């Protein structure tokens, strides 16, 4: 159910609730398939019987209706795929996070200087506590071998020797060892339009990371993010490089556009 935490300006909304709010702002009729979402918004006191929206939602709705920058993060872990991200508007910045098994995401405002820390926290970026890791290590393979290895890992079969997994999947032994420690994979994509370019196409930046526990963090350098449909085949090269939390913090900051690009 949607809800508001007025004291901390937090909101819990599902995509269907966002769709209803957008239609109400545009003074359009709400289709029958969104009747349940509209009823839930009314029950929560977010929408009045006359279709009016509570003033507490104005900052979020205004930002969602005219976003200047959109950040989308997909986190793939043991409980499936979880989405989080951020939306930057003219006057407000909101971050949002999902919860496993829940349809609603939590939206909360942040000050612009705190956006990078909020995004880093959303992917559980934490200081490296392991000593002796080789931060120059690189592993190369193909996306087809990675896919075969991931299918093997998700099959639910008991652990076996690395050599057997290598024979089954064709993946390099080191890749098998690293992914045996996998906590989650996450991909962060940022999109905006540069106002100083005539008829600009959207600009995309992206970052893909493996959080592999005792094996540390690995950034996927190939295929290069953001990956679009049709860009990658089973023969496409895969390259991952071990990295650390400090470098990833900076990489997240580098995904975002400079203020001058937004006007």
Q: Is residue 128 part of a domain?
A: no
What is the domain count for the chain?
Answer: 2
Q: Is residue 126 part of a domain?
A: no
Same domain, 187 and 71: no
Q: Is residue 129 part of a domain?
A: no
> pLDDT band at 261, cuts 50/70/90?
low
Task: Please say whether the beta carbons of 35 and 41 come within 8 A.
Answer: no
d(C-alpha 118, C-alpha 113), whole Å: 10
Q: Is residue 131 part of a domain?
A: no
Same domain, 105 and 152: no
Task: Please say whether the beta carbons of 44 and 14 come within 8 A.
Answer: no
Average pLDDT of 36-61?
91
Same domain, 255 and 147: yes
For the chain, what is the total number of helices (H) and then of strands (E)? 8, 11
The pLDDT, as a whole number, for residue 195 is 73
Q: Is residue 90 part of a domain?
A: yes
Peptide bond into 226 cis (omega under 30): yes
Same domain, 102 and 206: no
Q: Is residue 127 part of a domain?
A: no
Q: What is the pLDDT of residues 142-184, one digit of tens each?
A: 999 999 999 988 886 655 688 888 998 999 999 999 999 999 9
Asked which of 121, 149, 184 is the last residue of a domain, the reply is 121
d(C-alpha 75, C-alpha 82), whole Å: 5
The pLDDT, as a whole number, for residue 110 is 96
Same domain, 143 and 256: yes
Reference 161, options 137, 182, 180; nearest CA is: 180
Asked which of 63, 96, 121 is the last residue of a domain, the reply is 121
Same domain, 112 and 73: yes
Q: Is residue 132 part of a domain?
A: no
Q: Is residue 100 part of a domain?
A: yes
Same domain, 15 and 110: yes
Same domain, 54 and 8: yes
The pLDDT, as a whole number, for residue 263 is 57
**Domain limits at 197?**
138-262
Same domain, 256 and 143: yes
Asked which of 62, 90, 121 is the last residue of a domain, the reply is 121
Percent of the chain at pLDDT exceeding 90: 71
Q: What is the pLDDT of residues 235-251, one digit of tens each?
A: 999 999 999 999 999 99
């Amino acid at each position: 159910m949607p809800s508001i935490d007025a004291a901390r300006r937090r909101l819990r909304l599902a995509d269907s609730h966002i769709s209803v709010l957008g239609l109400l702002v545009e003074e359009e009729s709400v289709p029958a398939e969104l009747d349940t979402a509209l009823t839930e918004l009314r029950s929560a006191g977010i929408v009045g019987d006359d279709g009016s929206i509570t003033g507490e939602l104005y900052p979020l709705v205004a930002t969602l209706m005219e976003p200047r920058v959109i950040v989308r993060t997909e986190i793939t872990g043991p409980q499936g795929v979880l989405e989080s991200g951020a939306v930057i508007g003219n006057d407000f910045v909101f971050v949002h996070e999902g919860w496993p098994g829940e349809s609603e995401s939590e939206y909360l405002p942040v000050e612009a200087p705190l956006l990078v820390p909020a995004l880093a926290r959303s992917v559980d970026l934490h200081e490296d506590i392991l000593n002796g890791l080789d931060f120059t290590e690189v592993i190369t393979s193909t996306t087809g071998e990675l896919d075969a290895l991931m299918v093997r890992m998700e099959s639910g079969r008991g652990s076996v020797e690395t050599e057997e997994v290598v024979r089954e999947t064709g993946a390099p032994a080191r890749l098998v060892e690293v992914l045996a420690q996998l906590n989650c994979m996450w991909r962060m994509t940022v999109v905006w339009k540069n106002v100083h370019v005539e008829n600009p196409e959207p600009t995309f930046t992206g970052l893909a990371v493996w959080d592999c526990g005792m094996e540390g963090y690995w950034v996927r350098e190939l295929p290069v993010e953001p990956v679009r449909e049709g860009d990658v085949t089973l023969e496409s090269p895969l390259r991952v490089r071990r990295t650390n939390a400090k470098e990833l913090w900076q990489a997240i900051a580098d995904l975002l556009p400079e203020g001058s690009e937004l006007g």
